[in-house]
Structure 1
Amino acid sequence: MWNQRGNNNGNAIGNVERRAEIVAVAIDKDKSSQYALKWGVDHLLSRGQNVTLIHVKQRPYSIPTPMGNHVALSDVNDGVAKAFKTQVDNQAKELFLPFRAFCTRKDIKCNEVILEDMDIAKAICDYVKVNLVETLVVGSPSKNTFMRFKSSDVSTNVSKGAPEFCSVYVISKGKISSVRSASIPVPNPPPRPLQNQIIPYHSSLDVQPIQNYGTRAERTPFAPRNLIEDTEIKSPFNRNKASNKSYGELSISDTDISFVSSGRPSTERMYPFDSQEMMGGAPPRLSCSSDTDNRSSFGSSFSASKSSDPNYMHGFSSGSESNTASWSSSQNLDEVEAEMRRLKQELKQTMEMYSTACKEALSAKQKAMELHRWKIEEQQKFEQAQLAEEAALAIAEKEKAKTKAAIEAAEASQRIAELEAQKRMNAEMKAHKEAEEKKKVLDTLAHSDIRYRKYSIEEIEAATDHFSESRKIGEGGYGPVYKCYLDHTPVAIKVLRPDAAQGRSQFQQEVEVLSCIRHPNMVLLLGACPEYGCLVYEYMANGSLEDCLFRRGNKPVIPWQVRFRIAAEIGTGLLFLHQTKPEPLVHRDLKPANILLDRNFVSKISDVGLARLVPPSVANSVTQYRMTSTAGTFCYIDPEYQQTGMLGIKSDIYSLGIMLLQIVTAKPPMGLTHHVERAIERGNFSEMLDPSVTDWPVEEALKFAKLSLKCAELRRKDRPDLKTIVLPELNRLSNLAEDNMSSSNNNSVMMLGGTSCSSTRESPIKSKLARFFKRIS
């Protein structure tokens, strides 16, 4: 990498004016941009330094319609086109939010630049050339079989087209994919103007001021809104008198979540960008800001430092003659360069005018040829008409019928033309109406407070065959659960039982929570019927984790790899609940029965009807929030919460520890921590593991069990933190399981491709996993 260095023996002025190295990172929506920025911050930058984030957006020429088509911007009115362009600009600006937050955490100042061009690589190269960027980091997508047959990507084109003074690093998955080092030093920037002097700069660039991001703004508190009015909930069973049936006590849990943004703090903007350093050709449209005030203040401080330093004054007086000569020659060189730039600009304008004149002349010639052709055609038609008229006069009687037929044909053609015009008008009106309806729908969605679909009791009854016993798949304290189809989608409907204790408050709590949060590891709430207390969830094909661990209903044995992955997914979903804004959410009833598994054994947390919002000031592990009554299942309730009523986010950590022990032992929760501790002390922990799994990695399972015992400590202050300790270890074990599964699959492929008879026998792990996934499919 080339750096412009000053002379150690002499010129103090050159040392002061030496420019700082410019590091830029090209970003886009893909994940490779995140890898590129992280690598650049870790290897090229230190705290307090600046990094320039470059994003190229392509100019929109059409607007998508609800019918899946595209309408050109020139065919719509100015208001719609302006609104669509504003939306595209906002999306481009929102792209910087995660990168800006990452730079803020790393104490790196970021300058955001938005370029507009159809050629992304050319736009980046032009910006690097104009702004003398010395180091450029570009993300590259991961290589695969398909990518080998594609043309060169953006990173390759940038590496080839970047100026020779710029070093280009191509990053793929956090590692260097290729490096193109600089071959020449950075050229000297044009001379800066003296203090309080303004040099006019003419450019074809469309420069827009963009603010720089530095300080945090205050968070807007999030207030949960009650989506269910405080009205009496009627029972659908009272509606039909003939459906009086008894209910069993089989427990089934359903839940869902909707998304709540964690709301990262926004930051104020300040982008230093020296527009006077721009030289050469006109790059694509970019957004930047100049910082002449900083240069003025920098020059003032530099003058003050020079006057106060006797060594500097002595050195300056001794070399004044040589400095005067070099300054004069430098000034003459600058004047020559300025004159060359002016002449180049005039030549460019002259060439543009010449090109425009040539285009206009060619267009006029084409129009003249078309007019001449039209005149000849009209003359031929006129001559033919004369001949036809003479022939008609000669045989008038014979041509009367033909004339009448021609008139009828002309009338038919006119009618067809009128119909086509009417159809075109109807199509335009329909398109205009669709655009207005789309705008109305978007406005309605923007101002709507309802975040779930409301179903009528008639739709619920029709889907469940009037709450038929054949549709029932379970029943709990809240009420029965039915499996049916709504909108051609398999769903599970939980119906409030009329005599359920605290049923109405639990229904409102579950709807309020699930309509505000959404996460891949939370069961999805599809809709509700508030009048009759019905909740509609997505259907989970493999039931609860408790049923699978104890193999109820002839469930298949879950391999240890899948169990480690399920544990990490539960920890991820629980951390999401604890990080809800503005108030953390405590589940209070975390157990295997409330962990549901879909057809691919992906785990999701359900049954948040007992969850409580804890004020942020009391959400940590030191202070708690006092509840008037405890809730949850006995063996999984936090002992301190059970005794004192003090609720905190670490109350769920205790329940998580008990459940993690059940995942590896498949044993009941009563006294499970005591039995596992005794087995570890005696050195026979392997006997506590689930015997249905024969290939346990005992060492990793022991670490898993010790972490679970720490989570199940009696005192809340002795339990580890979920985000910093528990979840990273669970993710490590999950990655270990995935690596084991992938290596087993690779070994099986090698054995099938080999010719040796001794290597054709499959490994036990591979055979077991194959049987498991074949059974669940």
Structure 2
Amino acid sequence: MELLNSSPPSLPKPTGNTHLCSGPSNFRRRSCHNEVPALPQLPEIAEEAGFKVHVAVGKKKTDKAVSLIQWVCRNFGNSEICILHVHQPSPLIPTLLGRLPACQANPEVVSAFRNEEREVMRKLVNSYLSICCRLKVKASIITLEADQIKKGIVDMVNEHKIRKLVIGAIPDCRKEKRSSRKASYAEQNAPSFCEIIFVNKGKLVFTRQATGFNSNSAVAQSPVCLPLPDSNSAFEEESLSEQLRESELESESSRNEVIAEIFKCNRLEAEAAETMKTKTWEGAPVRESALRKEVELSHRTMIKEQDKDLKEKEEMTRKLHMTMRSIAILDTHAQETNCRYKDIAGELRLIQTSIATLQKEKQKVQKQKDEARWRCCGKVWGVGSRDLVQFSISDLQIATCHFSESFKIGVGGYGAVYKGELLDRTVAIKKLNPYYMQSQSDFLQHVQILGKLNHPHLVTLLGLCTEDWYLVYEYMPGRNLRDHLLHKSSITWKNRLHIVAQIAKGLLFLHTSNPEKIVHGNLKPENILLDSYNSCKICDFGISKLFPNQTLHCPSFRRQSVSKGAFSYTDPEFHISGSLTTKSDIYSFGLIILQMLTGRSPEGLSREVRKAISCRNLEPILDSSAGDWSAFVARRLAGLGLSCCELNSRDRPELTPSLVQELDQLHTLEERVVPSFFLCPIFQELMYDPRVAADGFTYEGEAIRGWLESGRDTSPMTNLTLSHLDLTPNPSLRLAIQCWISNSH
């Protein structure tokens, strides 16, 4: 490792006869001409305490820069190290439009980019500072922003009066000036009082000694040059002149060598260019031949690929034609299959219809056989088309184990019902309460009328006991409608619609019977029995006729006959007039419709449904256990149920065959396009009670009444004031709607 000594700067000329200090070579050269007294030996000047060594580093942390810092720390570890860095701002600013000059870019973008550059610079110099800290060397930092790094280094030397500067250089920076522009510029332009040390890869390359001194520098830091005696002045001048001539000769020789080298380089470059040109011309035919072969090969390859593509295209075309033919054949087969499917579906429907007809015929024949067997086995009572079988009290006791409680299946104000076995058939035996009964003759006369009633949706009366007040009915093994609604059984809305239609058919049969109409008088979900196919039959019809009217109004009878919640199904007019009519059954039927629609308790149900319809928000109150209700069917059932539940019996509809047929076919009406003049202008639904208002337009009765009852006196269509609020029925339109409904199939 080389030890560096400070190069002593020259002192100011002393008064009198002073001389410059010369090096050892000069002394030797002078000794050849004349002997001179030997100069006293100059002492080696050490670094003073607090002396700073400045080292210049670049903008990238390279191995050279790190080794430069380490070299300075090793050789000047006793002094304070000051790291110099000149930051050169980038002239181009990166933007979304590319890299733009700083003068053309947005000032905010320029400022942000400059801050990022300074942050990178701070991290760089801090990393150099950390190296000094690891080597336990006291260090500091000086930075400067300048457009030219080399000029910035010189400015920092002048500004901070730097006396010792270490800078990186190539191995021979004095000869290769182009490769070390910053080092060369610093050597040539730095002030003379600054000693510059050039280091490369941890080794000293060159030292530019300080030849001047700073006005602030101490004399103690410069070595003392002793003056020579006056007798040697001439000799020294001659020696200096000789040295000057030798330097000029050496300089001229070096200049000639450089010029010769330049001419030699130019000649070699010309020869190399000529050689390259010759080689290029000589290799042109070879390259042309190679290119021609390459083009021919590419052409042949392209032709092969085109032929291959053409063959693939022909193959794909052939396959496409075959596929199209196959599709045409398959389409023909599909059409034939579709036709066969339609034929088979028609045949299947015909077979199903035939099977249903045969089953009905079979049931009818079986029923006739059972009745015939009953008439043969039992004692026939009465005269008529359907004679009843007469049983003795002992027969009924044997059938019910003396009317055991385990055989009891129901109880009410009319009496108790027992399950029993008579003539190898399961029957239901109803024991009437004799305390409230009419005379025996009236009882037998009315029972004979009930025995003649025969309908698919009425429970059949099979026999009676004339010794006591007993009636024998067919047994229905399923549960009643109340149990299904109470336990939310999975009866779909379509099945519920069929049940409503079947109840309507049974009631229509009772209300149109001859010689007199039969009033049920106690219609409620408990008296509607369902089988396993959800087909219903009405029971307890006509029983009220077996009791006198005063009995029906008796408080004790009403407490026994009316079960919990059943009071809601009773016609309100019955409590006033005391008489039961067919409109009483219509009221109960309407409540049953609303209960099947909503699955809710009958108390206040009509008011709740009416409010939902007026708010056009019926869906939330529908029974979700029935599935997704058809909006058309739900609105029609709700409207029919509300019209049946009118408090005034005159406002309730009559149960007619057309109404029953409409209920039976209601699920199919939505699929047909309803004529526009059949729709209510307010509800936009099929009208069942068309009424003409004073404006000449026809509306659904419920809709226009709700319009007028809300306090309006204007037309819903024209918004003009109505001349009167009377509503006139439109029977011709009602008949046309009923005919359209009847022809729905």
- TM-score band by shorter chain is 0.3 to 0.5
TM-score, normalised by the number of residues in structure 2: 0.35
* Structure number with larger C-alpha Rg: 2
